[in-house]
Structure 1
Amino acid sequence: MLRLVYLVIRFLFEIPFLIFQIKRYKKHPERYSLEERINWTRKLLRKATRRARVKLDISGTEYLPKEGGFLVTPNHQGLFDILALFDALDQPFKIVYKEELRKISLAADVLDNMEYHAISRKNLRQSMKVIRSTTKELKDGLPAVIFPEGTRSREGNHLLEFKGGSFKAAIDAKAPIVPCAMINCFKVLDYNSLKKVNCAIHFFEPVTYDDYKDLTSTEIAEMVQERIQSYINEHD
């Protein structure tokens, strides 16, 4: 919480313009391409990471496919995970996020501007609609991010169970799956301190459709979870 307050203070004089820009994107989305809107958010969040006294080590970007859609599946440690992803990924991408984030009106505006998908864990029909939309985007060549745990782990670098349904969009699109490890990202906002934080994000070599086509979604989830947890255990 202390670091979040510190960030607000660092952005204090820029906040009116930022709000104006967010509202302008929302009111006139036809004037700006999706790529422009996502890139604007990336620039803002990268600035926030620099100002938050965070040293983010990024590795494995050489494994990211240069063309076509792919699904990034990180473990989930907290809100800073989103900033880490925007710091590490240079191309436009979509994120499937939990519906509860829409309770923060300004956050909802930013997410809507990027046409990100909110998923309701209590509404199966709505969830399937989101998966179908993500599948289409993957087929159209747009990368996507889904957190297979479904919610943030509150156990530090220990992962919660990965859910097989999180991989359905990739399976249906026959798209590569890129496991992604978040390490110590929870410390950025969970610790009530302004001390410099060292954390990391690592992308793994893609799991191609040929690699996983004979596996069930549960088996895929278990395989990806094991790879990420093993990497975290080695590098924590």
Structure 2
Amino acid sequence: MLRLVFIVIRFIFEIPFLLVQIKKYKNHPEKYSIEERIGWTRKLLRKATKRARVDLQISGVENVPQEGGYLITPNHQGLFDILALFNALDVPFKIVYKEELRKVGLAADVLDFMEYHAIVRNNLRQSMKVIRTTSKEMKEGMPAVIFPEGTRSKKGNSLNEFKGGSFKAAIDAKVPIVPCAMIDCFRVLDYNSLKKVHCQIHFFKPLTYEDYKDMNSTEIANYVENTIQDYINAHD
């Protein structure tokens, strides 16, 4: 929380301009492409990372497909995971997020103008609708991010169980699955400190549809979970 307050203070003179920009994108999305809207957010979050006393090490970006839709499946450590993704990736992508995130400040407005999709937990019909929409977008070439744990682990660099249903959108779309490891990202906003933080994000070689077509969703989830945890154990 202390670092988040520190970031806000460092943006204090830019906040009026940012509020105007957010309102502009929210009220007139038809005037701006999805690439422009997501690109604006990327620039803002990269600036926030630089001002937050964070040393983010990025690796494996060469493994991310250069074109077409695909699913990125990171472990989930905290709010900074989203900033890490925006720092690492130069392409537009969608994030499937839990509805509770909309309660964070102006998050709802930003999430809406980027056309990101909220999952309402315990609402199976709504969740399946989001999965179908995400699958369709990936078929059309838009990358997506889903956190297979469903919520942050709150166990440092240890993972919660990955849920097989998180991979259904990729399976239906027959697109590559890109495992992604977050290491020490929880230290950025979960610790009440302003000390410089070192954390990592790493992208693995994708699983193509040919690689996973004979696996069920639980087997895919277990494979991705073990791949990420083994990497964290070796690089923590």
Which range, TM-score by smaller chain? over 0.9
SS of 2:96's partner is: strand
Q: Which amino acid aligns with 2:64?
A: L
> How many Å apart are 1:104 and its aligned residue?
3.1
Q: TM-score, normalised by structure 2?
A: 0.99
Matching residue of 1:162: 162
> How many Å apart are 1:154 and its aligned residue?
0.3
Matching residue of 2:48: 48
- % identity of equivalent residues: 78
Q: TM-score, normalised by structure 1?
A: 0.99
> Per-residue displacement from partner, 1:26-80 (whole Å, max 9, x unpaired)?
1111111100000000000000000000000000000010111000000000000
Matching residue of 1:122: 122
SS of 1:205's partner is: coil
**Structure 1: 5+ residue stretches without partners:** none
SS of 2:57's partner is: strand
Q: Distance in 2 between matches of 1:50 and 1:106?
A: 20
Q: Distance in 2 between matches of 1:84 and 1:102?
A: 19
Matching residue of 1:188: 188
> How many Å apart are 1:105 and its aligned residue?
5.2
SS of 1:228's partner is: helix
Matching residue of 2:228: 228
**Structure 2: 5+ residue stretches without partners:** none
Runs of 4+ in 1 over 3 A off after TM superposition: none
Q: Distance in 2 between matches of 1:222 and 1:235?
A: 20
Q: Distance in 2 between matches of 1:56 and 1:159?
A: 20
Matches within 5 A, 1:196-215: 196-215=196-215
User: How many residues were matched structurally?
Assistant: 236
Q: Which amino acid aligns with 2:101?
A: L
Structure 2 CA distance for partners of 1:36 and 1:176, relative to 1, 3 Å: same
Matches within 5 A, 1:60-99: 60-99=60-99
Q: Which amino acid aligns with 2:85?
A: L
> How many Å apart are 1:175 and its aligned residue?
0.4
